[in-house]
Amino acid sequence: MAEKIQKKDRMKIPRSSMPEQDPNERAKNFTEVPFGLSEEQALQEASRCLECPKAPCIAGCPVEVDIPGFITLVMEKDYAGAARKIKETNALPAICGRVCPQEEQCEQVCILSKKFTPVAVGYLERFVADYERENNLVVMPKIASPTGCKVAVVGAGPAGLTVAGDLTLLGHKVTIFEALHKPGGVLVYGIPEFRLPKKIVQSECDYLADMGVEFKNSTVIGKSDTIDELFEMDYDSVFIGTGAGLPNFMGIPGENLIGIYSSNEYLTRSNLMRAFDFPTYDTPIIKGKNVAVLGGGNTAMDSVRTALRLGADNAYIVYRRSEAEMPARAEEIHHAQQEGVQFNMLTNPVKFTGDKDGKVVSMECIRMELGEPDDSGRRRPVPIEGSNFTFDVDLVVVAIGNSSNPLIPQTTPGLETNRWGNIVVTEETMQTSREGVYAGGDIVTGGATVILAAGAGKVAARAMHKYLMDKKDMVAGED
């Protein structure tokens, strides 16, 4: 191994910058934007880490990845070992390395961020996971001997996939029921190819299938079977990870005009149905020239960048607060700016107008200013009287968040939900108000993040395992 560099010298090494496609070029294609670090860069970046004994970064990660532990393995060039180290607590490193808001999590609290720039934990996480996958170094883990217990997981998003993986390792037989024709949840239908290639999500699902997880796609629980019927089918426990899937609209005049999509519809058409590749794929999508995307989150950034790639001349973000309040990841906002997205801050739409065919042609907005802080602690935007103005649009994407889908609560008697329709759980176990039924991810928290959903899956899997084993012991005791 190369000689250890002194701590004070390590701090002087600049943070690696991620090689990526040229903004002008990439704004026209759907290929992934960042290329990933080279081995050299990864080694250099790893050498910046001070391997702090108390490693604050670990606590900054919602699933407590052993960051210095895996970085040490990178320095030893044991990249597959590093990937396995991460997988002890995070089953989806290739995905999290790409989409985690590291700047608010692990990297935010890195010691180096106080005086310098933090270690690029996300880049390294991506590097080792890609290395492991691309070099076929993924090994099947040892699976505990069968417990004889059957578990049903509803929803194949990050929460459901994590539960399925963890419980399979512990010897339970897991079946995932997914409403759509492909597993992955938001990872396949929401997050675009240029940010998260679908083959990565597919390989994570294949890995689970190889471990023995059974996937039943195109199965809508609540319609084909209810939760109670799953128990009748001899499932011993059920996990609900159905996400936050019901799109919110503004509720303003003209919103049902043609050319006004929810971000879910726009992204689903483009990503899951691959409408960007129409007519090779059959699903069409409206390609706007002047596109306004309403909202300031990741969903809004993904939509507006998709619009550029589908040929928009002008792609606008229209957001009622200021840039500081935008919930999107800093990296995504930066990428969108580089690609030529125009930001209209402190602006709120009030009305849409259409032509005789019912197609949207313009949007009336009002300017906003920031007032007192609201419940979320962000300053509340208030409209400025008389500041209305109109501009031409031929496509609008409404990306103002999702509510929870009522399908399962409606068909599951005794399943408690809160006033937003989210399923209520005990935090330590993710258990719902129904015995043997657990839930986690966006259906519990409302729209959050991939790693929080996966983390909730971890907690649930642990509690479900205990529940299943206790139940088995009880039955055995009765014999």
Partner 1 sequence: MAKILDNVKIGPLNWKMRVHVPKLVAKAKAGQFVIIRVNEQGERVPMSIAGLDRERGVLTIIYQVVGKTSALMTTVETGGEIIDCVGPLGLPTHLENWGTAIVVGGGIGIAPIYPIAQAWKEAGNKLYTIIGARSEDALFYEDEHKAIADKLIVCTDDGSYGRHGFVTEPLKEILDSGEKIGMIMAVGPVPMMKFLSKLTAPYEVPTWVSLNPLMVDGTGMCGGCRVAIGDTTKFACVDGPDFDGHKVDFDLLIKRLAAYKEQERESFHRFVESPDCRLHQSIKEIAQS
Q: List the structure tokens of 192.
A: 């675009």
Contact with partner 1 (CB under 8 A) among 117, 281, 390, 426? 281
Identify which of 44, 177, 38, 211 has the alpha carbon closest to the alpha carbon of residue 119: 44
Cβ proximity to ligand FAD: between 66 and 442 the closer is 442
Closest among 193, 183, 124 to 157, alpha carbons compared: 183
75 near ligand SF4, rule: CB under 6 A = no
In the window 83-102, what residues touch ligand SF4 (CB under 6 A)? 90, 96-97, 100, 102
Q: Specify the DSSP element, H or E, that contains 305.
A: helix 298-309
- Report the residue number, 204 or 225, with the smaller CB distance to ligand SF4: 204
Residue 166 or 302 having the CB closest to ligand FAD: 302
Tokens found for residue 285: 């999508």
Site membership for ligand SF4, residue 158 (CB under 6 A)? no
Return the number of other C-beta atoms located less than 10 Å from residue 161's C-beta: 32
Expressed in percent and rounded to 5, the helix, strand and coil fractions of the chain are: 40, 20, 45
Residue 336 CB contacts under 8 Å (≥ 6 apart), including other chains: 301, 304, 305, 317
Which of partner 1, ligand FAD, ligand SF4, none does residue 278 bind (CB under 5 to 8 Å by kind)?
Answer: partner 1
CA dist 117 and 99 (Å) reads 19
Pick 443 or 452: Cβ nearer ligand SF4: 452
Is the bond preceding 14 in cis, omega lying within 30 degrees of 0? no
Give, as ranges, the residues between 7 and 36 that touch ligand FAD (CB under 6 A).
Answer: none
Residue 246 found at the interface with ligand FAD (CB under 6 A)? no
Q: How many CA atoms lie within 13 A of 319 on its CB side?
A: 26
**Segment 403-432, which members bind ligand FAD (CB under 6 A)?**
405, 407-408
Sign of the alpha-carbon torsion through 456, 462, 465, 469: negative
Q: Any contact of residue 5 with ligand SF4 (CB under 6 A)?
A: no
Is the Cβ of residue 119 or residue 267 nearer to partner 1 in the bound state?
Answer: 267
Q: Is the separation of the CB atoms in 48 and 75 below 8 Å?
A: no
Angle of the 79-87 helix axis to the 67-75 helix axis, nearest 10: 170
By the 8 A CB rule, do 32 and 201 touch? no
By CB under 6 A, is residue 111 in contact with ligand SF4?
yes
Minimum CB separation of residue 412 from ligand FAD in Å reads: 10
Q: Is the CB of residue 456 less than 8 Å from the CB of residue 430?
A: yes
Of 105 and 417, nearer to partner 1 (C-beta) is 417
Contact between 99 and ligand FAD per CB under 6 A: yes
Let me know: does 336 contact 296? Beta carbons within 8 Å: no
Q: Residue 46 interacts with ligand SF4 (CB under 6 A)?
A: no
State which of residues 180, 209, 252, 350 lies at the interface with partner 1 (CB under 8 A): 180
122: contact with ligand SF4 by CB under 6 A: yes
By CB under 6 A, how many residues form the interface with ligand SF4? 27
Q: Which does 205 bind (CB under 5 to 8 A by kind): ligand SF4, partner 1, ligand FAD, none?
A: none
- Can residue 329 be called a binding residue for ligand FAD (CB under 6 A)? yes
Least distance between partner 1 and beta carbon 266 (Å): 9
- Per the listing, tokens 């607060």 go with 321
Among 175, 259, 267, CA closest to 224: 175
Is position 52 an interface residue for ligand SF4 (rule: CB under 6 A)? yes
Kindly state the tokens that stand for 243.
């996400």
> Please, what's the b/e burial string for 175-194 (b: 16 or more CB within 10 A of its CB; e: otherwise)?
bbbbbbebbbbbbbbbbbbb
Q: Which is nearer to ligand FAD, 299 or 346 (CB)?
A: 299
* Distance from C-alpha of 161 to C-alpha of 204, rounded to nearest angstrom: 9
Does position 196 bind ligand SF4 by CB under 6 A? no
Question: Which position among 29, 117, 218, 418 is part of the footprint of partner 1 (CB under 8 A)?
Answer: 218
Q: What's the DSSP call for residue 252?
A: -
The residue from 177, 231, 235, 276 that contacts ligand FAD (CB under 6 A) is: 177
Residue 335 host element (H or E):
helix 330-339
Residues 245-264 that bind partner 1 (CB under 8 A): 245-247, 249, 255-256, 258-259, 261-262, 264
Exactly one of 42, 112, 128, 312 binds ligand SF4 (CB under 6 A); that residue is: 112
Q: How far apart are CA 217 and CA 390, in angstroms?
A: 44
Q: Which residues bind ligand SF4 (CB under 6 A)?
A: 49-52, 55-57, 61, 63, 65, 67-68, 90, 96-97, 100, 102, 105-106, 110-112, 119, 121-122, 125, 451
Q: Which residues bind partner 1 (CB under 8 A)?
A: 179-181, 189, 217-220, 223-225, 245-247, 249, 255-256, 258-259, 261-262, 264-265, 268-269, 273-274, 278-284, 286, 357-358, 405-407
